[in-house]
Structure 1
Amino acid sequence: MVIGRMLGGRYEVLEKVGGGGMSLVYRARDLYLNRMVAIKVLREHLTNDEEFVARFRREAQAVASLSHTNIVSIYDVGQDKDLHYLVMEMVEGQNLKEVIKEKDKFNENEAVEITKQICEALEHAHKQKIIHCDIKPHNIILTKEGKAKVTDFGIARAVTTATITHTGSIMGSVHYFSPEQAKGEIADEKSDIYSMGVVLYEMLTGKLPFEGESPISIALKKINNDSIPPRSVNPDIGEALEKVILRAMDRNPFRRYESVRELKQDITSAHLYNKLEYEPSEMENTINIPPLALRKTKKNDLAAPLKVWTWIMISLIIVGFIVGMFISATVLSRGEVTVPDIVEMSATEAEAVLKNLELSLIVERNINHPTIEEGLVVFQDPKPSVIVKKKSDIKVVVSKGPNMVIVPNVLASSLLSAEVALNNEGLELGDVTRVYHEQITSGKIVRQEPAAGKEIIQGSTVNLIISKGPEPIWISMPVVTNLSIQQAESILQNYNLLLGVVQPETSYEYAEDIVIRQDPGANSEILQGSVVNLVISAGPGPLGSLSSVSITLPNSGKVKIVVDDENSREIVYENYHYDGETIQRNVSYHRRGFIEVYVDNRLIKRKEVG
C-alpha cells in the first residue's frame, strides 16, 4: 500500500491520480518545500529487472537537466525499500488522449497551437541529445490554461525488451512508434518527428493512421504501407498541412524533416499561408527510371556517324570548359571575396573587417555562451574561407556572455535530491565532503558552496558538505542491573545509548522486571549511540519474609505502612484510624530494608528488618 507512506522521509503520499502500463502516479506533499508534487512509482514487473532500474535512474537524472515550460520537470529520483520512484512537477489537467476522446477531433487552430508547443519541448530535449522515444497523446498533459506539457522522458528511454513484452503497455505505443522503432532499430530525433506527425494526424481527424488487432499487425502495416491521407478523413484540413503531416510520417526517415524546428516552421507556414517553408529536395523526390530497351541494329549501321559526332561533342566540351575557366578567372573573380574568420571578434571589429571586403554584417540573434565573452561573435554564416560575391550578407550570432543562474537551496536535502536540484538549474555537482554534525541527521546537506541564492555561471560546480551525524564519544557503560526495566531505559537514554533486545528469564532471586544482566557489561568502554541488550526477570522472584508491626495511634488520621526493601519501595497498607486505636499488621519484605508507619504523611515509626 503506497497511499499514506512517507517516501524518502520527505514525500507524504496522499492519493492515486493515474497510471499506465509502466507506472502508477500519486499526488504527494513535499514536506521540506511545502509543495504538492506528483510521484511516479514503477510497477513491480519493472523493478524486478535490475538492468532496467539502473537505466531508469540514469535516464531520469539526465532528463532532470531539462528545464522548459512545455516539459514536466523532474525534481528527484529515489528508492524506498521495494519502491522505485520519480518526483515530478504536479500538473493539473487531462492527458491529450482523454481530450481527443471527448472532442472527437480538434479544429485546425487548436491542433496547430498544441503541436507547436510539443515541438518546442522536443526541440529543447533534442538540443540536449535526449530523445523521447514514446511521444503519444497519453504522455502529453493539457492544463486548464491550454498549455501542453510533455512527460515520461525517463521511463520511455529506459524501456527494455523485457518491458515491452507486456502487451498492455505496448499496444498504446505501437500506433505512434516510427517504422524503424517497429523494426527494432535505434530511435533518433526523426523517430520523435514521426510520432509527432501521428499525434497531429489524430488530433485533426479523430482517427489513427493505422489500426489492427495486435501490435504486430499494426507494426507490419506501418512498415509496409503508407497511411491514409488525412484529408480523405477530414476534408477541412488544408492541403499544405496535409503535406506536412505526410512528410513527418514518411516511412523513410531520410525523407522526413531534418529537425523538429523545421517541422514546427512548416506547420506554422502551412496553417497561416497554406504553403511550405521546407519543400522536399530533388534528391528526395528522385524517381529511378529503368533503362529503355534499345532496338538492335546491325554492327556497322551507325558506327561512322557516331564516331564523327562523338569527336565533335568532345571538342565542344573542352572548348567550353576552357572559355568558362577564363571567364571565371578574369571577369567573375573581380566581384568575389573570401569570407574572413570573424569568430570571437567584437561585433564592431567584425563589421569593420567585413566592410573593407565590401561585405555586410547581419546580427541574427544574441545567445548566452559559457566561454565566449559578451559582445563577441559566436558563429558566422557563411563560414571562413568560403568564396562569396561582394555586397553579400554575413550572418552572425553574438554572445550575451555566460548564462547566469541562481544557486538553489539544497540544505537538509539528501545527496541525490541535491544533485537533481542542481541539474535542474544547469549546475554540476562538485566536491562532496562528509563531516560530523551535532544537529543534522546523517546523509543530509550541512553546507553548500556557493551559498543558496548566489548568481553564478550556468555549468559551474557546487560543492556540498554532508553530515555524518553526531561525532561518536567513548563513555563508561553505566550500571543498570538490579534496576527496573523502566529505570534502566531512562538511564540509557541519558547516556545516549539505545535499548536493544530485552530478554525475559525465569528468576527466583530477582523480582519481576528487574534487570539481571547487561551487555555490554558495567564500566566497559562503549561508544555513544551503541545498542545495549538486557536480560530481565520474568518472576516469580524471591519469597518474602514477614515482620509484625504494632502501633497505638497518638492521634486520629490516615495511616500508611511503607516497605522499603531491596526490591522496591511500596505502600502495603493505607486506611483511616482514630486516636488511641492500636494497629497490628504482618508485613512482607524481601531480604533487607525498613518498614515505616506514617499518620497523615508524618513518620511516627521506622523499623529495620532483615
Structure 2
Amino acid sequence: MDTTLQDPLVGQLLDGRYRVDARIAVGGMATVYRALDTRLDRVLALKVMHPALAADGVFVERFIREAKSVARLAHPNVVQVFDQGTDGSYVYLAMEYIAGCTLRDVLRDRGALQPRAALDILEPVLAALGAAHRAGFVHRDMKPENVLIGDDGRVKVADFGLVRSVNTVTSTTGAVLGTVSYLAPEQIEQPGAADPRVDVYACGVVLYEMLTGERPHDGDSPAIVLYKHLHEDVPPPSALAPGLAYELDELVASATARNPDLRPYDAVAVLAQAREARAGLSADQLDAVPPQANSAAQDTSDNRTSVIPRSLTVPRPLPVNEDEPEGGYHRTSRLESAPPPPPRRRSGPRPRLVAIVAAVLLVLGVGAGVWYINAGQFTEVPRLLEKTEAQARDRLESAGLDVGDVKHAYSDTFKRGTVMSSDPGPGSRIRSNDSVSFTVSDGPETVRVPDVEGYRLDKARSLLKDGGLEPGMVTREFSEDVPRGSVISTAPDKGTERRAGSAIALTVSKGSPIDVPDVTGRTVEDARAELEEAGLKVKVAPQQVTSSEFDKGQVARQTPADGRQAAEGDTVTLTVSKGPEMIEVPDVVGDKVDDAKAALEGAGFQVDEDRGLLGLFGDTVKNQSVAGGESAPKGSTITITIR
C-alpha cells in the first residue's frame, strides 16, 4: 500500500500557499515533500519538521534564525532556501527542488567510482562547504545522502540550516549529532564543539567511499564504529583498490587525520589540495576502473542522522470532526421543539391566528438566542501583521476588542515599528471586548564587534558568541608579535556595528615563520634530525618513488619544499627514493652508429660516443660501456666505442 496516501499533509495546502503533492523522503528530524508554490507556480521541496521537534520552542527559534542565514548563502552548489514559515503545528522550509538522485544512489548502483568521477563530485561539494565555512557555518552532517546530483549533472549540498540548528540544541543535552560513519573524532569526544574541520573529515570519508565503494570503518554496532573513529586511522584507499594513485591516498589521509590540528583548516584548503592532486594524475590514473565498481548494494542502515533529542511533552491535539460525548451539551436541543399549542377553541378564527403569531415569535426568539450564543458574543481577531502600532489599535477598536500588552522585539524580517505577531493570532474567534496583545518590531538587532585581539582562538570565539555574533572563517598568518594560536585581527574591525548573528572572520597567528631546510638527498634519520631541530614535525610517506637522481633510502622530495616558510610544529612530509628504475641494456655491438643510438635512446638511456683517433671516420659500434643484456638505471649514459 502506498504510504504517501496515509500522510495527512499530502494533498493539503500548507500556509495557504504550498500544495503538498508527494512525500519524497523521511529523515530523523523532518519529512521532505514535493510541493507546488501556488503563488509563483513553481515546483519546490518542502521540508517539514517532525512534530516532536517542532514542539520545542528553543529548537524552532534556532531553526528559523539559521534558516534565514543559510538563505543568504548564495552559492551554485548549495540547495537554496526560498522561504520559512509555520502553519499550526507544522514548521517548514521551502527549498530548491533538485530532480535527480543522491550520491548514495550512485554508490549503491555503481559500487565505486573512477577517480575522475570522484573528484568531479568532491570538488563542487568542497566549493559549497568552503562558501559556508567562510560565512561561519559548519554543516556537521556531510554524507552521500546530503549530496544531490541533478539530472543536468549539477552537484549540490543539502541540509545546511537544519543541521546547524539541531547541533545547537543537542550540544546542550550531550547528544551526538551526525551519522556515525562520517563523524570526526572530536565530535564523538566533545559533542557540539565542532568547527569546519569536522566537515573536512567527513569529506575525506566520503572520498574514500567513492574510491573504494566501502566505508573505512564498519562494525556490528554504532559503538564499534565510533571506537574505530577514535582509535584507528582511515586506511589508504589503495589498500582496498590497488592501483589508485599515491596522490589520492595523501588527499584522504590529510582530510581524515584523527588530530584536527593536522587537517586542513576548512574546505577551501581541501579544495586546493584536491585540484593539486588531480593535476598530478595522468589520464590513465584518472580513468582507472576500481575493482569494486558495480558491486552489490551496500547496507545503509546506519546512514540516517543519529540524534538523541531531549524528552519532549507534546500536548495531544484537540479532536477533529468527532461526535460530542453523550453527556455533552447541544445548546439548541431544548429550543428546537416549541411548547404545545394552546387548546383549540370551537368558535372563530382568532384563536388560530393568535397561535400562529405566537409560533412565529417563538421561532424568531429561538433564532436570536442561537445567534447570540453562537455568534453574537464572539468576533474574529483582525489581521495586524505589518501594521503600525496606531493602525493595529484602530483595527482592534473597530472590531470591538481591547488592546492588551504591547511588547517589543528585534526582527530581521519585519520593518521597525510594525506588528510582527499577535496573541491570539489573526482569524481566531474570541469574545467581544476581550483584549488582544501584540508585539512590535524594533528592527534588526545590532551589536558591536568586541575586541578579541590577543585572545586564544577558542576564547575569541566564545566572546563573539557572548556578544551575539558568530565566529566565521579563520585565516592563519605568520606573526612575530602575536603568539601562535592567538587572534591577530578581525574583519570587520573591533567596534564596528553589525547585525546580531553576523559572521566575523578571524585572523589567527601561526607564530614566527621558520624557513624549511632542504633535506633531499639525505637519509631519513639525518633529515628527521635537521627538521625537528628547526622546530618542525616529520611524517614519512608510506609509498616510495623511483628516482634516478637519488639512491635508495635517500629523501627524494619533501612537502613543503625547501625555501618555503612554515610555522613551528607544522609537519613536513618526506618521500623516500627506492632507487632508479633498472632496465635491460640493448646489445648494439656491430650495429651502425645511428641504429645503435636509436635503440639505446628508445630504451631510455642517454648515449655518449667514443671515436678516438681511429674512429673519426668509422660508422660501426665496436664496444659499449654496459654489455647488452645487463641492467642499468633508466636515464643513465651508455658509452659506445666506434671504429
Which range, TM-score by smaller chain?
A: 0.3 to 0.5
Q: Whose strand fraction is larger, Structure 1's or Structure 2's? A: 1
Larger Rg: 1
